[in-house]
Chain A
Amino acid sequence: MKNQALLNKKPFEINYGQETETEINKLVKIINQTPTLKSLYPPRWLAIKLLESDEDIAQRLSAIPGSTELYTEAQASVESLKKILGDDVDILMADQRYRWINSLVKEVVMKPDQSILTNSDKIDKIVTNRFLGIPIFLIFMWIVFKLTADVSAPYLDWVEGVINGPIARWTTSFLGWIGLGDTWVVSLFMDGIIAGVGGVLVFVPVLMFLYIALAVLEDSGYMARAAFVMDRLMHALGLHGKSFLPMLVGFGCTVPAIYATRTLENKNDRILTGLLVPFMSCGARLPVYVLFASIFFPKNSGKVIFSMYLLGIVVAILLGVIFKRTLFKGKEQSAFVMELPPYRIPTLKGVWRHTWERTGAFVKKAWTIIMATSVILWFLMSIPTGGQGSFANTEIGNSVFASVSKAIAPAFKPLGFNSWEASGALVTGFVAKEVVISTMSQAYAAGEPDEEVEETPTFLEDLGEIVKSFAESTLDTIKSLPLIVGVNLLGEEEEAEPTALMDAIKESFEESSNGNGWLAALSYMVFVLIYTPCMVAIAAEWHELGAKWTWVSIFGQLFLAWLLSFIVFQGGILLGLG
């Protein structure tokens, strides 16, 4: 009885409106009079499909005898409805369906009480608070750079020890074993490849810690909040909130950051953001800061590195505000709508994957671009000028590279660093910012006296020492974690001894700045932060912004870097800070 009632129940039908329903009924009548069609399809469904001009159904009908009249009638109905209702029939019918769906959803879907806050909402109340948002963002960034500068230091020393110790010894032994022991090839490997590539690889732990910290922030969902928090500031300054996303990407690498400007719809906003992105301090500049901060500001290295990142953001925002009111004067910005994902506890696997991918990219760069540059540099440093010495047997100060560097060095005199080594490193830094370090390692290390080796350890002793020193570094790293909050468990005596490279850089900067070494170092770091990014980034700018703006970026950044470094150095001296 119940089943019979169900069978007799009229199926659910959406009312498509009087005019459309009239046409549907007309077609249903024809279908009901054609037994072949009636037996194949439900009449109302078929009528609707025909009014919607469904191509698949039209094709199927063409194979059924007796359907021509129905199809012709349907076409006439479609034309008639289009004239009456003023739009395509299929759109009007879909609209009716969605109206019904929307009203049904409103009736039956129970939304959770909006007043009940989820854990993410509770955290967001603080993290994205109007007043606390930016300070919290800065605190997180501070922790990231403290972790990067202080906590990674023991591993940095370990990698340096391994490269300059066992790896250098094994390379020399191997070259001697294959009969190249007394040739220039030894110098190519030791002063070129190991000094250059090794000088950059030493900073792998620093970048690993940076990437771990960023992966945690990213996977936890905080990064989206950072963009949200900065959006308010950007808007207040007249910039598009979305501009901060490419800038955030720029902390890692300028190249994808420039491509990220494509998310901005307005061409002017895209160019403006593309010009500002290089001021965000990319990962490649970090080794320069770490090296200089550890030489000249050993007690405050974290603060100095953090201030470099902050300076990049401030310069970008100030320039943005100036450009927005002059060169890129435009319409009022629309709101930046973004969805904030719920907070999640980052997984070890996820953090490791991100860290590994990014560190791998850095190591790959070291073995390709940096190695090629180091080899070219070694040749330029080995070719004598003015007939002084012979190939690979000349004072580095008399080499082709030194001569070229000496020619441009006077331009940096007012900035406090006019040594040919420091000036030359800035030139090669156009290739990639890590090359600044590898050039310095090559240029300064060439003048380094050979260390006295009491007894050459065996291969197994070297391996044992590598493992032992790794375990000690791990222990020191754990001990150095409280440094983030300013507690030093390592003790003064355990702090790293300066290397020969560090001593050479310190001496050179003190000399070129008449005893104002730390001011000159700060000026150098500011120059590295602001000046033209690497050649790959320039290629990306060319592609995205066009030739004109790329030239503006190249020369504009060079000029600004010089100006800011000048202000830092000369201003510091004027204020008696030297």
Chain B
Amino acid sequence: MLALVLQELQKSKEPLSVAALSKKLNIDQSALEGMLDHWVRKKRLIENNAQGEMPANCAACSGHARSCHCSAQCPFIARMPKTYSIAAGERGTDND
């Protein structure tokens, strides 16, 4: 079951949200969250869009700032779901 989560993310070209994984694997979100946390603790997965205090998953600022310096000018703080991807080294090659 845990391996399935890892395999699904390895197959995926892009990070997946809990909802997307839940749908793909037919595992309830509440159970899946624990599994994802397990892999994050093991450093096999990365939790994206979650750093910083600011914009909880703001599409504009995720991934580049611990705080969003441009939020004041941004009329669309597009909130994105938390996503997970395979940690560097797990996939083998960069997907870029």
Contacts and interface: CB of A to CB of B under 8 A. Distances in A.
Interface of A: 87, 91, 94-95, 98-99, 101-102, 105-106, 109, 210-211, 214-215, 218, 223-224, 227, 245-246, 248-249, 251-253, 255-257, 259-260, 262-263, 265-267, 283, 334, 337-339, 341, 354, 357-358, 360-362
A259 B17 contact: no
B74 A253 contact: yes
Contacts of A211: 75
B20 to A, nearest CB: 4
A160 B79 CA distance: 37
B61 to A, nearest CB: 7
Contacts of B74: 249, 252-253, 256, 358
A283 B70 CA distance: 14
A46 to B, nearest CB: 21
Contacts of B49: 263
A358 B76 CA distance: 11
A337 B13 CA distance: 12
A341 B79 contact: yes
B76 A105 contact: no
Interface in B42-96: 42, 49, 59-64, 68, 70-81, 95-96
Nearest to B38: A94
Contact of B2 (A94, A109, A338): A94
Nearest to B2: A95
Contacts of B79: 224, 341
A362 B74 CA distance: 11
A468 B30 CA distance: 59
Contact of A283 (B3, B75, B95): B75
- Which of B49, B71, B75, B77 has the most chain A CB within a 10 Å cutoff? B75
Given A106-B28, A248-B78, A267-B96, A253 B73 contact: yes
A252 B59 CA distance: 14
B96 A357 contact: no
For the complex of A and B, list the 7 residue pairs with the smallest distance between their C-beta atoms, beginning with the closest. Answer: A252-B75, A256-B70, A361-B72, A256-B60, A253-B73, A337-B20, A260-B60
B45 to A, nearest CB: 13
Interface in B8-42: 12-17, 19-20, 27-28, 30-31, 34-35, 38, 42
10 contacts: A95-B3, A98-B1, A109-B28, A224-B79, A256-B61, A256-B71, A256-B73, A267-B96, A334-B14, A339-B19
B2 A265 contact: no
A256 B69 CA distance: 9
B44 to A, nearest CB: 9
B81 A338 contact: yes
A259 B70 CA distance: 10
Nearest to B81: A339
Interface residues of B, number: 41
Contact of B80 (A105, A214, A251, A338): A338
B59 A249 contact: yes
Nearest to A214: B75
Nearest to A252: B75
Contacts of B68: 256
Given A102-B1, A105-B28, A339-B17, A360 B72 contact: yes
A360 B70 CA distance: 12
B70 A253 contact: yes
Contacts of A87: 3
B14 A98 contact: no
B83 to A, nearest CB: 9
Given A227-B78, A266-B95, A245 B59 contact: yes
A101 B96 CA distance: 36
A102 B28 contact: yes
B64 A262 contact: yes
Nearest to B82: A339
Nearest to B42: A91
A98 B2 contact: yes
A345 to B, nearest CB: 17
A248 B76 contact: yes
A283 B76 CA distance: 12
A27 B68 CA distance: 52
Nearest to B30: A105
Given A105-B30, A105-B31, A252-B75, 18 more contacts: A91-B42, A98-B35, A211-B75, A214-B75, A248-B76, A248-B78, A249-B75, A252-B73, A252-B76, A256-B71, A259-B60, A260-B59, A263-B63, A265-B13, A265-B95, A283-B73, A337-B19, A354-B75
A246 B59 contact: yes
A167 B60 CA distance: 38
